[in-house]
Amino acid sequence: MGPPPHPDPTTLPTTPLQQKGLAALFLFPSLSVVIVAMRMYSRVTSRTTGLDDYLVLLALLFALLMIGPLYIFMKLNYWGFRKEDVPKDLDLAAGFWWNFLVQMFYNPVLALVKASILVFLLRLGGHKTNVRYAIYGLSIFNVAHAVAIFFTALFQCWPIEANWNFGLRKEPGVHCVSNWFHVIASVITIVTDFLVVALPFWIFLGLTMRWATKIAVIGVFVLGSVVGIIGIIRVISIHHQLVEGPSPGEDTFHTVLPVWGAVETNLAIICASVPALRPLFRRWFPALFGGSSGVKSGTPYSDRYVGNSRGTNGIRSQHHDDIRLKDLRMSRTQHTEIRSVSPSGSEEEIMTYNGIMRTTNVQVSYENENPSKANVSDSRTSSELRFESKASEVRSGV
């Protein structure tokens, strides 16, 4: 079922408004390719690739597949022209055939991007029961919504040819869904966009971390709200064009409305990829994106103890990765986590608990030269003994 005959789009005239729309059509996918390439380079070099990366790659593939059909649709249907400059015998069928392909490629992009973000957030805050259940719930809804929208868009008219051949819609036995479908589907997408953006606030606001780091991490995710705002602008335009109908005398050609879909999808890909670039930025700009806030000393063995709210100590070394001891409330049994800051700078290291999680109580008995102080019992953890032994070696010049 190929497209109806049409002229070569590259031979058709253009206008300044259409040129601006086409510039945006190619600019944002180009930025997406660059950002995703940097993301994959960062993840591959730090050996932290995961499912979220592959989902973004798949979203980028669909976003790139939109470019060609959307370009042809813009050219064939004279988007960005004044009505009086549009040929009187213009046949819109060929353009809407390509627009049908755009719809098929558009719908999976946002769903894949949201799935990628949810997987990423699961790696960050998945140890919190409420957060994990919220992510699972949003993921299930996101998949169900994506599948429903895809097949509804595919069969929105039966036979399918009625999607671009408007003359068929007048024949008996031909059925098309209401134009409200496009509005409702877009509204649901926008709502889920903002729910996904809200999750990082829930995860990071409860963390004990520097406010500068916390604000930076949350700020990156807030960029995702821009995608929702663009979605709102787009759905308002769709409602006006398809449901309300154009006002008397309104020039429906003098707009670049279809380009908003490409801007929305590619901005979503970019915003979803920016958090994964932190390790790369730390490597390139360590002064701006370094993760350590420790006070450096002039001595090569200067260590500083860092305590938490429960008095558990950790060691931070000038020449080594940060090591912290953090209590985890996973059950009634108290565990102690020894966590080294990820050398790759990966955000997953902020909240994961897959490091060393063992507290060993050691009963130590020793004798003092003073008989009155003999047989003093000391109960310390194996970690404390190792740290104490190391400090002793340093003092002795070993």
pLDDT at 130: 86
In angstroms, the CA 78 to CA 66 distance is: 18
In angstroms, rounded to a whole number, what is the distance separating the alpha carbons of residues 232 and 215? Answer: 26
Tell the burial category of 40 from Cβ atoms under 10 Å away from its Cβ (0-12, 13-18, 19+): middle
DSSP 56-103: HHHHHHHHHHHHHHHHHHHHHTTTTS-GGGS-TT---HHHHHHHHHHH
- Cα separation, 248 vs 237, in Å, equals 16
366: which residues sit within 8 A by CB, 6+ positions away?
A: 376, 378
User: Quick check: 113 pLDDT over 70?
Assistant: yes
Q: Are residues 64 and 99 in the same domain?
A: yes
CA nearest to 273, candidates 90, 82, 31 = 31
- Terminal CA-to-CA distance of the chain, rounded, Å? 80
Q: What confidence tens digit (pLDDT) does each residue in 27-57 have?
A: 999 999 999 999 999 999 888 899 999 999 9
Cα(349)–Cα(346) distance, integer angstroms: 6
Q: Are residues 270 and 219 in the same domain?
A: yes
What is the DSSP pairing of strand 323-328 with strand 335-340? Answer: antiparallel
Q: Phi and psi (nearest 5°) for 87?
A: -55, 140
pLDDT given for residue 213 in this prediction: 65
What is the pLDDT at residue 141? Answer: 96
Structure-token match 């997987």, residue found:
119
| Average pLDDT value for the chain | 78
* 162 or 322: which leads in pLDDT: 162
CA distances from 132 to 87, 114, 322 (A): 56, 15, 27
pLDDT tens for each residue of 171-221: 898 999 999 999 999 999 999 989 988 887 777 766 666 776 666 666 666
Considering 239, 256, 287, which residue would you say is the last residue of a domain?
287
Asked if residue 370 is part of any domain, the answer here is yes
64 is in which domain, residue-wise?
Answer: 9-287
In a domain, 3, yes or no: no
- Residue 293 in domain: no
Q: Is residue 295 part of a domain?
A: no
Cβ-Cβ contacts under 8 Å for 259 (sequence gap 6 or more): 21, 22, 24, 25, 70, 74
In whole angstroms, give the CA distance from residue 180 to residue 185: 8
Length of the chain: 398
Residues 61 and 94 in one domain: yes
203 & 281 share domain: yes
Task: Report how far residue 160's alpha carbon sits from residue 97's, in angstroms, rounded to the nearest whole number.
Answer: 10
pLDDT for res 265: 95
Structure confidence at residue 316 (pLDDT): 43
Residues 206 and 59 both lie in one domain: yes
* Residues in contact with 394: Cβ distance below 8 Å, sequence separation at least 6, in sequence order: 301
In a domain, 4, yes or no: no
Determine the Cα–Cα distance for residues 155 and 320; give it in Å rounded to an integer: 59
Task: Tell me what pLDDT residue 262 has.
Answer: 95
Structure confidence at residue 206 (pLDDT) = 63
Residue 267 lies in a domain: yes
Q: Are residues 222 and 119 in the same domain?
A: yes
Tokens of 270: 């970019």
Q: 124, 270, 308, 116: which is closest to 202 by C-alpha?
A: 124
**Pair 108, 203 in one domain:** yes
Quickly state the pLDDT bin for 255 (edges 50, 70, 90): very high
Specify the number of domains making up the chain. 2
**CATH number of 16's domain:** 1.20.1070
The answer to whether residues 134 and 208 belong to one domain is: yes
Q: Looking at the domain assignment, is residue 297 inside a domain?
A: no
Q: How far apart are CA 126 and CA 137, in angstroms?
A: 13
Q: Residues 154, 31: one domain?
A: yes
Most confident region among 58-72, 112-126, 280-294, 306-320 by mean pLDDT? 58-72
**Higher per-residue pLDDT: 2 or 201:** 2
Answer yes or no: do 234 and 324 share one domain.
no
Distance CA 52, CA 58 (A): 10
CB 330 within 8 A of CB 129: no
Q: Are residues 56 and 111 in the same domain?
A: yes
Pair 354, 281 in one domain: no
Residue 292 domain flag: no
Per-residue pLDDT reduced to its tens digit, 54-84? 999 999 999 999 999 999 999 999 999 999 9
In the prediction, which pLDDT does 363 show? 56
